[in-house]
Structure formats: structure tokens, C-alpha cells
A and B are shown apart, each in its own frame.
Chain A
Amino acid sequence: MVKLEIDNVCKRYWTQRDAKGVLALSHVTLSVAEGEFMAIVGPSGCGKTSLLNIVAGLLPCDEGSVAIDGRRVDGPGMDRAVVFQHASLFPWRTIAGNVRYGMELQRRFDQTAMRERTDYFIKLVGLDGFERHYPSELSGGMQQRVNLARALAADPVVLLMDEPFAALDAQTREFMQSELLKIWAKARKTVLFITHQINEAIYLADRVAVMSARPGRLKNVFQVPFGRPRTLSLKRDPGFLQLEDAIWQLIEEESARLGMALAPS
């Protein structure tokens, strides 16, 4: 069953220098099934964050439409929650206060339910005992867990993740990836996950959509054939490396076409 439908979405940015504007997204069509983990990879500047912002309702698109459960998206909504690249935690709120922030704004749960859900999701992301701490007392990885718990606590239908681990160091990132899979196995949300790291996308997702840059276009969607639960050793599996290579080549062709030097990540 299709949960999230991105249909023929185009986005153009207007600049003062260029009267024609820059085409950031060109006719992107993609559908995500219920409970599916969909990753989108692409080089920087391919418009993947614009796409996520459009799905989140934070950015209007010029053409096309986004729908969730058949309802057209025309602004932020309670059926979606975003995990941001920067933890974006409120420094004056405790961890518990941050996790309940989305619920507080949306007023869908009463006080008791909010308290229960806050406790539950803090535990789920492994931060019990830190309820009364402030964000500045937490490491980057822990802050991203709060960011994730805040989004999950708002009980969205679709979870949107915007390169949430990009700012973390390599070890923390790997650890957070496997943690995310454990949490996702329990929360079972439909996920749209943006990243520029190919192996992160394959490791996490059921399907990986590859985008090209200028204009941002959907090149191909790869089915990830590995079962779950997945362990980090999967990243050294020959099949995994083959898939990573195939996606890498596709992106490299693109960057060669554009004459861009792209460093592998």
C-alpha cells in the first residue's frame, strides 16, 4: 500500500543573477510503501534536501504534488515529522522537554499520554536517566537521539530524516545507524531518509533512490536485497559492496558528465 506519493515534483530557485532561475528538482516521481524505509542518495546540490523540505511542507513546489495516504500536502502536518541534520534542540528545555516539544505544539495527546510517550521514546533511543539534562550536556550522537525521539514521539505517519548522521564522527555514525535500525524495527514507521553516503543508504534502506545534480532528477531506484535484522558486518558483504559500486558508478557517470570532481565518502 502506497503511503507517500511524490508525483512529478519540480522546483526552481530564483536568483538575482540568473533571470531563468536554477532548476533544483525536475519531474521527480517516487512512491514509498507503508512501513518502507526509502533512502535517497545523491551528490551535494542535487536537491535532495529541497525534496525533503517539500515533502515536509516547509517549501512549496512549483509543479507536481506530494500526497500522504492520498491527501495532498500543502504545508507542515501532523502526519509527518522531521529529524534534522543539526539536532535543533531547544537549549532552554531539558531532554524530556525537547522530546515533548512536538506533542506540546500539536495537542493531540493529553498530559498523561504525553508523559508516557516522553518516557517511552527516551527509553527507546537509550537515553533514560538523561531526562533532566540539558542539550549542551550531551554529545552530538546523544543530541541526535533526542532529535529522533522528538520526531517519533509526535507519532507521524511518515518520518523524514535529513542527513541526520552527517555531522557525527565516523564511529558514532556507524553506531547510530545500527541503533536506528533497532529503533525502526520497533517503531515501524514509513521513512524517507536523505543522505550523501551510499553505504549508509544501502545499510539502512529497503530501496535506494539515486538522484543526479543540476537539475535534480531521479536516476534510478535500487532494491536492497538483504534481509533484516542487519548487522554492521553486512557492509563488508560482497553483495553489499557490489551494490555500493553500482550506485557509485551511476553517480560518477553523472558527475563526469557535469565535469565535477566528487570525492568518495
Chain B
Amino acid sequence: MKSETLGGTKTETLHAVDAESAARPRLSFFQRHESMILGGGAVVIALAVWEAIWSLTDWISPLFFSGPSAIAKQFRYLLLKGTLVADMKYSGKNFVLGFALALVAGVVIGVITGWYRRIRLVADPFLNALYATPRVAMVPLIIIWFGIGMWSKVFVVFISAFFPILVNTVAGIRNMDADLLRAARAFCASDWQIFKTLAIPGSVPFILTGVRQGVALGLIGVVVGEMFGGSEGVGFLVAYGGQTFATDTLFVGVIIIAFAGIVLTSLAERLERHFSRWRPER
């Protein structure tokens, strides 16, 4: 009996070693970096083909499109001139200010509307109507209110980011986990204690979903706001480039916006993923 067990253990150990070496076969350099090589390679080739067509043929008219080298040259020119940094600072300031206001207002109003049923019932029709309205449609009105200076841009960012944050906060407060609520009640929790220990922390993952959506919409807001009026900012750069048929300038602006979008959204996604474990398991 004893030797049998021993024999059994031995084969098991052998199997374990086999399984381990089978599960981790040596990967080639290509296999380990497959996504980098294929994805990065495709981008490089596409840029090379674009550049070749741009500089070696005359198929592309600079009135309608541009080429990588022209865009890079224009980028360098605007950077050295100093206006590009000034535009980015201006847009960045509008975005940060508008987004910060939206975050504070969205969370505070969202928590209150989510927690008090009667306030929610009163506010719901207004919020739903405003949420369904494309915010861009209100930009001319916002300019009437705030002029063409920076505050109209800040307000467009604010109103773009505010609604997703608000709606998600309300959902977070309302969707208290039933099991956790029952546990809190059983331990004689007061309403205030339920609010503090369950409603608020439980809504954090929801709020961060709102933040991610708000970042994306706020970015659209700042670009649109600057396109409508004024003479500064990355959005203005794009609009100005378009009006003057300076496609290379236009592309510089578009690429900066795209880059900011990628960076900000991935940061917000990371934050959201980190707190997703705060969602009760189902």
C-alpha cells in the first residue's frame, strides 16, 4: 500500500514536470513580440507608402490632402514659432477646467439625485431631455451667453462631460447591491451609515465609467467649442487650417487631438479597470 502511494506520487511528479515544460515551450522572438511587429510594421509600411505617393507622384493635391513629411515640417515650424505650444496650453486649460467642474458637479448632483427618490423623480424629465440633446447643438447659445472667449469653451467641455458623469453616478448610487444592503441592515445600519459605507464606495466604479465617457466627450467639446469662435486653441488650428486650405496645418491639429484622446482615454480606462473589483461579484 505504502509503496503504491509512493509510486503514485512519483509518476505524478514526473507528469507535473512534463506538463510544466509542455505548457511553457520556448517562444521565438517573433512569437513574443507578434503584436508589436505586425501592428507597428503595418503602420510603418502604410506611412512609407503614403509618403512615397506624396513625394514621388503628383496624385495628391496639397489643397485636399497632405503627406507625412509636409505635416512633420509644418509641425516643426509651428512648434518653433511657439504658437503650437500656446494653442495646446489654451486647449488643455479649457479642457481641464471644464472637466474638473463637470466632475465635481456631476458627482455631487448625481449623488443627491440618486439618493433622494423624490428629487430624482422631479429632475428626471429635465435630465433625460438634456441628455438626449446633442450638446453641439447648444454651442451657438453658449457663445451668446459666454462670448467667444475661453469661458464659452470651458462651458462646452463642462456640459459635454457633465452628463455622462451625472448619469453614471445616479446609476451607481441606485444600484446598491441587495446582499450588501441586507448585511448592512442586519447590523442595524442607519440610513447615513448605509450611505457612507455602501452607497458611496459602491458607486465608485460607476463614477469612473462616467469619467471615461466624460473624457471622450469633453475632448470633442473643447475642439468644437474652439472651432465655433475665437482665435486660439487646437480646435481653432484645425478650423483655420481648413478655411485657408492649409491641409498640413489641419493635420497637425487633428493628430494632436487624436494623440490626446488616446492618452486620456487609456488613462481613464486604467483607472476604471483598477476599481472594477469594487463591483460586487455576481
Contacts and interface: CB of A to CB of B under 8 A. Distances in A.
B186 A76 contact: yes
A101 B197 contact: yes
A106 B187 CA distance: 7
Interface in B195-229: 197-198, 201-202, 204
Interface stretch (A11-19, A83-91, A168-176, A235-243): A83-91
A120 to B, nearest CB: 18
A91 B277 contact: yes
B187 A105 contact: yes
B277 A81 contact: no
Which residue, of A81, A102, A105, has the highest number of chain B Cβ atoms within 10 A?
A: A105
Contacts of B180: 88, 90
Interface string A93-136: 00000000110111000000000000000000000000000111
Query: Which residue of A81, A82, A90, A134 has the most chain B CB atoms within 10 A of its CB atom?
Result: A90
Contacts of B185: 58, 76
A21 interface: no
Contact of B179 (A56, A84, A134): A84
Contact of B184 (A57, A92, A105): A105
A104 B193 CA distance: 10
A135 B281 CA distance: 10
Contact of A91 (B186, B193, B278): B278
Interface residues of A, number: 25
A98 B202 CA distance: 14
Nearest to B201: A92
B279 interface: yes
A104 B277 CA distance: 23
Interface string B50-78: 00000000000000000000000000000
A92 B203 CA distance: 11
B155 to A, nearest CB: 34
A106 B180 CA distance: 16
A245 to B, nearest CB: 34
B183 A105 contact: no
B117 interface: no
A78 interface: yes
A211 interface: no
B119 interface: no
A147 to B, nearest CB: 9
A52 B197 CA distance: 25
A91 B279 CA distance: 7
A105 B189 contact: yes
Given A84-B182, A88-B182, A90-B201, A76 B277 contact: no
A77 interface: yes
B190 to A, nearest CB: 8
A218 interface: no
Contact of A102 (B187, B279, B281): B187
B187 A154 contact: yes
B186 A81 contact: yes
A56 B202 CA distance: 24
B179 A86 contact: yes
Nearest to A147: B183
Given A90-B197, A92-B204, A134-B277, A81 B187 contact: yes
A77 B189 CA distance: 10
Given A91-B280, A92-B278, A77 B188 contact: yes
A102 B182 CA distance: 12
A105 B193 contact: yes
B272 to A, nearest CB: 15
A144 B87 CA distance: 57
Interface of A: 56-58, 75-78, 80-82, 84, 86, 88, 90-92, 101-102, 104-106, 134-136, 154
27 contacts: A76-B185, A76-B186, A76-B187, A76-B188, A78-B188, A80-B186, A84-B179, A84-B182, A84-B183, A84-B186, A86-B179, A90-B180, A90-B197, A90-B198, A91-B277, A91-B280, A91-B281, A92-B202, A101-B183, A101-B187, A102-B187, A105-B184, A105-B187, A105-B193, A106-B188, A136-B277, A136-B281
